[in-house]
A = this chain, B = another copy of it.
Amino acid sequence: MQNMGRWEPDARGRLEKAAFELYAERGFEATTVAEIAARAGLTERTFFRYFADKREVLFSGSGALEDRLVHGTVSAPGNLGPVEAVGAALADVADDVFAGLHEYARHRQAVIASHPELRERELTKLASLASALAGALRERGVPGPAASLAAEAGIAVFKVSFERWTGGPPSRPLSDVIRESLADLKAVTASPAAGPAAAG
Interface residues of A (CB under 8 A from B): 78-85, 116, 119-121, 123-124, 127, 140-143, 145-146, 148-150, 152-153, 155-157, 159-160, 163-164, 181, 184-193, 195, 198-200
Provide the bound-state CA to CA distance between A153 and B141, in Å: 22
List of 8 A-B pairs having minimum Cβ-Cβ separation, nearest first: A152-B156, A123-B123, A150-B188, A82-B188, A81-B198, A120-B120, A189-B189, A83-B189
Can you name 10 A-B pairs with beta carbons within 8 Å?
Answer: A81-B188, A81-B189, A83-B188, A119-B124, A149-B188, A150-B185, A152-B156, A153-B189, A185-B189, A189-B190
Are B152 and A160 in contact (CB-based, < 8 A)?
A: yes
Q: Is the CB of A79 within 8 A of B190?
A: no
Q: Which residue of B lies closest to A190 (CB)?
A: B81
List chain B residues, Cβ under 8 A from A191: 80-81, 84, 186
Task: Verify B192–A143 contact, CB threshold 8 A.
Answer: no
19 extra interface residue pairs, beta carbon distance < 8 Å, beyond A82-B198, A123-B123, A141-B200: A81-B189, A81-B198, A81-B200, A85-B200, A119-B127, A120-B124, A145-B184, A148-B160, A148-B163, A149-B156, A149-B185, A149-B188, A152-B152, A152-B153, A152-B156, A152-B160, A153-B153, A155-B156, A186-B189
Asked if residues B81 and A184 are in contact (CB atoms below 8 Å), the reply is no
Main secondary structure of the interface of A (DSSP, over half): helix
Residue of B whose beta carbon sits closest to that of A191: B81
Identify the closest chain B residue to A156 (Cβ): B152
Q: Which residues from B are CB-within-8-Å of A150?
A: 185, 188-189
How close is A27's CB to chain B, nearest CB, in angstroms?
19
Nearest residue, chain B, Cβ from A87: B189
* Beta-carbon contact of B199 and A82 below 8 Å: yes
Measured CA separation A140–B82 after assembly (Å): 29
Which of A83, A150, A188 has the most B CB atoms < 10 Å from its CB? A188
Indicate if the CB atoms of B124 and A81 lie closer than 8 Å: no
